Amino acid sequence: MIVITAPTGNIGRPLLSRLLDSGPAAGEELRVIVRDPARLPDAVRGHVEVITGSHGDAEVVDRAFEGADAVFWLVPPDAALTPQDAYSGFSGPAVKALAAHGVGHVVGVSALGRGTPLADHAGLVTASLAMDDLIAGSGVAYRALANPSFFENLLEESDSIRDEGVFTDAAEADRKAPFVATADIATADIAAVAAGLLLDRSWTGTGSVPVLGPQDLSPNDLARMMTEQLGRPVRYERQSLDELRTALLGHGLNEAFVQGVVDMKRAKDQGLDTGVTRTPDTAARTGFEQWCAQTLRPGPVVRSGR
Taking only the tens of pLDDT, the chain with its 306 residues reads 999 999 999 899 989 988 998 866 567 899 999 999 999 988 888 899 999 999 999 999 999 999 999 999 999 989 999 999 999 999 999 999 999 999 999 999 999 999 999 999 999 999 999 999 999 999 999 999 999 999 989 999 999 998 999 999 999 999 999 999 875 444 457 888 999 999 999 999 999 999 998 899 999 999 999 999 999 999 999 999 999 999 999 999 999 999 999 999 999 999 999 988 888 888 877 889 988 888 887 644 333 333
**3-state secondary structure (DSSP) of residue 291:** helix
Which pLDDT belongs to residue 21?
85
| CATH number of the domain bearing residue 80 | 3.40.50.720
Kindly state whether residue 48 falls inside one of the protein's structural domains: yes
Residue 48 · residue 16 · CB < 8 Å: yes
- Residue 20 CA, chain-centre distance (Å), reads 21
Kindly state whether residue 143 falls inside one of the protein's structural domains: yes
Pairing of strands 49-52, 30-34: parallel
pTM confidence score: 0.91
Domain count, the chain: 1
Range of the domain at 27: 2-149+180-212+276-285
Kindly state whether residue 225 falls inside one of the protein's structural domains: no
Residue 181 · residue 286 · CB < 8 Å: yes
Pairing of strands 206-210, 141-147: parallel
Helix boundaries (H) for 69-218: 83-84, 90-101, 124-136, 158-164, 189-199
| Alpha carbon distance 152, 286 (integer Å) | 12
* Residue 289 one-letter amino acid: E
| Alpha carbon distance 135, 204 (integer Å) | 14
Question: Torsions phi, psi of 242, nearest 5?
Answer: -65, -40
Kindly state whether residue 135 falls inside one of the protein's structural domains: yes
| Alpha carbon distance 79, 164 (integer Å) | 28
Kindly state whether residue 241 falls inside one of the protein's structural domains: no
State the DSSP code for 38: G
Helix (H) or strand (E) holding 44: helix 42-45
Kindly state whether residue 269 falls inside one of the protein's structural domains: no
Segment 135-139 long-range contacts (CB within 8 Å, at least 24 positions apart): 135/73, 135/91, 135/94, 135/95, 135/98, 135/106, 135/108, 136/206, 137/95, 138/95, 138/96, 138/98, 138/99, 139/98, 139/99
Kindly state whether residue 281 falls inside one of the protein's structural domains: yes
Which pLDDT belongs to residue 22?
80
